[in-house]
A and B are shown apart, each in its own frame.
Chain A
Amino acid sequence: MATATTVGRFGPYGGAYVPETLMPALLELQQAYVELQSNSSFYAELDHLQRTYTGRPTPITYAQRLTEECGGAQIYLKREDLAHTGAHKINNALGQGLLAKRMGKERVIAETGAGQHGVATATVCALLGLECVVYMGTEDMQRQRPNVFRMRLLGAEVRGVNSGSCTLKDAINEAMRDWVANPDSYYLLGSALGPHPYPTMVRDFQSVIGHEAREQMLERTGKLPDVVVACVGGGSNAIGIFYPFLQDADVALRGVEAGGFGPQTSKHAARFAGGLPGVLQGTYSYVLQDEDGQIALTHSVSAGLDYASVGPEHAMLHDSGRASYTLATDDEALAAFQTLCRTEGIIPALESAHAVAEAIKLAPTLTADQVILVNLSGRGDKDIFTVADQLGVTI
Chain B
Amino acid sequence: MSRIRATWERLQAEKRRALILYLPVGFPERESLLELVPQLVAAGADMIELGVPFSDPVAEGTTIQAATQRALRNGVSVRYCLETVRTLRERGIDVPLLLMGYLNPMLRYGLAQFCADAQRAGVDGLIFPDLPPEESDELLAASRAHGLELIQFLAPTSTEARIAHVTEHATGFIYCVAVKGVTGARDEVSAELPEFMARVRARTKTPLAVGFGISQPHHAHQVAQLADGIIVGSALINVVAQAGDVMGFVRGLREAIDAAPVNSP
Within 8 A of A (CB), among B103-120: 103-109
Which B125-166 residues sit within 8 Å CB-CB of chain A? Answer: 129-135, 137-138, 152-159, 161-162, 165
B158 touches A293 (CB 8 A): no
C-alpha spacing A18/B57, complex, angstroms: 11
Name the interface residues of B155-195: CB closer than 8 Å to any CB of A.
155-159, 161-162, 165, 169, 177, 179-182
**A-B CB proximity, top 3 nearest:** A293-B108, A293-B105, A181-B181
The answer to whether residues A280 and B157 also contact, given A17-B135, A18-B130 and a CB cut-off of 8 A, is no
Instruction: Give bound CA distance, A148 to B92, whole Å.
Output: 56
Q: Mark contacts of B47-73 with chain A using CB atoms, 8 A cut-off: 1 yes-contact digit, 0 otherwise.
A: 000000011111101000100010010
A291 within 8 A of B: yes
B238 interfacial by beta-carbon distance below 8 Å: no
Known: A4-B137, A19-B155, A173-B58. A163 touches B105 (CB 8 A): no
Nearest-CB residue, chain B, relative to A26: B132
- CB closest residue in chain B, given A296: B55
A294 at interface, CB cutoff 8 A: yes
Q: Shortest Cβ distance from A251 into chain B, in angstroms?
A: 34
Contact A19 B130 (CB under 8 A): yes
- Chain A residue nearest to B57 (CB atoms) is A173
| Cross-interface CB contact of B58 among A5, A19, A20, A289, cutoff 8 Å | A19
Contact B134 A20 (CB under 8 A): no
- Interface membership of chain A positions 152-194, coded 1 if the CB is closer than 8 angstroms to chain B and 0 otherwise: 0000000000011000010001001100111100000000000
**Are B180 and A24 in contact, with the CB atoms below 8 A?**
no
Contact between chains at A3 and B132 (CB < 8 Å): no
Contact flag A181-B180 (CB < 8 Å), given A16-B134, A173-B58: yes
A14-51 CB mask vs B (1 if < 8 Å, else 0) is: 01111111111101000000000000000000000000
Asked whether, in the complex, the Cβ of B130 is within 8 Å of the Cβ of A278, the reply is: no
Q: Is B206 an interface residue (CB 8 A)?
A: no
Select one of A4, A23, A182, A280 contacting B180, CB under 8 A.
Answer: A182
A–B complex contacts, Cβ < 8 Å, 24 sampled: A2-B169, A15-B134, A16-B132, A16-B135, A19-B59, A20-B152, A20-B155, A23-B134, A23-B155, A24-B162, A169-B56, A173-B56, A173-B58, A176-B58, A181-B179, A182-B180, A280-B56, A281-B58, A289-B108, A291-B108, A293-B78, A294-B104, A294-B105, A295-B55
A173→B104 CA distance, assembly (Å):
15
Q: Are A1 and B165 in contact (CB under 8 A)?
A: yes
> Once bound together, how far apart are the Cα atoms of A3 and B133, in whole Å?
9
Give the shortest distance, in Å, between B131 (CB) and chain A (any CB): 6
A287 within 8 A of B: yes
B77 at the interface (CB under 8 A from A): yes
Q: Chain A residues near B165 (CB, 8 Å)?
A: 1-2
A276 at the interface (CB under 8 A from B): yes
Which size bracket describes the interface of B in this complex? 35 or more
Determine how close the nearest CB of chain B comes to the CB of A176; give it in whole angstroms: 5
With A and B bound together, what is the CA distance between A278 and B107 in angstroms? Answer: 7
What CA separation (Å) do A177 and B130 show in the bound complex? 12
* Alpha-carbon separation in the docked complex, A169 to B55 (Å): 11
User: How far is A2 from B104 in the complex, measured between Cα atoms in Å?
Assistant: 22
A330 and B220 alpha carbons, distance in the complex (Å) = 54
Q: Does A279 lie within 8 Å of B154, measured CB to CB?
A: no
CB < 8 Å A-B pair total: 133
Check A219 for interface membership: any CB of B closer than 8 A. no
B177 pairs with A295, CB closer than 8 A:
no
- A291 to B78 alpha-carbon distance, docked (Å): 10
A292 at the binding interface (Cβ < 8 Å): yes
Question: Which residues of chain A from 259 to 276 have a CB within 8 Å of any chain B CB?
Answer: 276
Q: Is A295's CB under 8 angstroms from B181's CB? A: no
Complex Cα spacing A294 to B65, Å: 14
Contact of A20 among B138, B169, B177, B181 (CB under 8 A): B177
- Check B104–A278 contact: CB distance below 8 A: yes
| A-side contacts of B162, CB under 8 Å | 1, 20, 23-24
Q: Give the docked Cα–Cα distance between A309 and B156 (Å).
A: 31
Q: Is the CB of B105 within 8 A of A183?
A: no
Taken together as a complex, chains A and B put the C-alpha atoms of A323 and B106 apart, in Å, by 29
CA distance A51 to B105 in the complex (A): 46
* B133, A1: Cβ atoms closer than 8 Å: yes
A208, chain B: closest CB distance, angstroms: 30
Which one of B72, B107, B134, B177 contacts A5 once the chains associate, using CB atoms below 8 Å?
A: B134
Which residues of A sit under 8 angstroms from B77, Cβ to Cβ?
Answer: 292
- CA A279 to CA B134, docked complex, whole Å: 15
* Contact A181-B132, Cβ < 8 Å, known A19-B153, A20-B153, A164-B55: no
Measured CB to CB, the closest approach of chain A to B252, in angstroms, equals 28
The residue on A at minimum CB distance from B75 is: A292
- Chain B residues contacting A281 (CB-CB under 8 Å) are 56, 58
Please tell me if the beta carbons of A15 and B133 are within 8 angstroms of each other in the complex: no
| A293 and B132 contact, Cβ closer than 8 Å, known pairs A4-B137, A21-B155 | no
Task: Provide the residues of chain B in CB contact with A182, threshold 8 Å.
Answer: 180
Contact B56 A17 (CB under 8 A): no
A276 — which chain B residues lie within 8 A by C-beta? Answer: 108
B233 CB, nearest partner CB in chain A, Å: 15
What's the minimum C-beta distance from A42 to chain B, rounded to whole angstroms?
A: 25
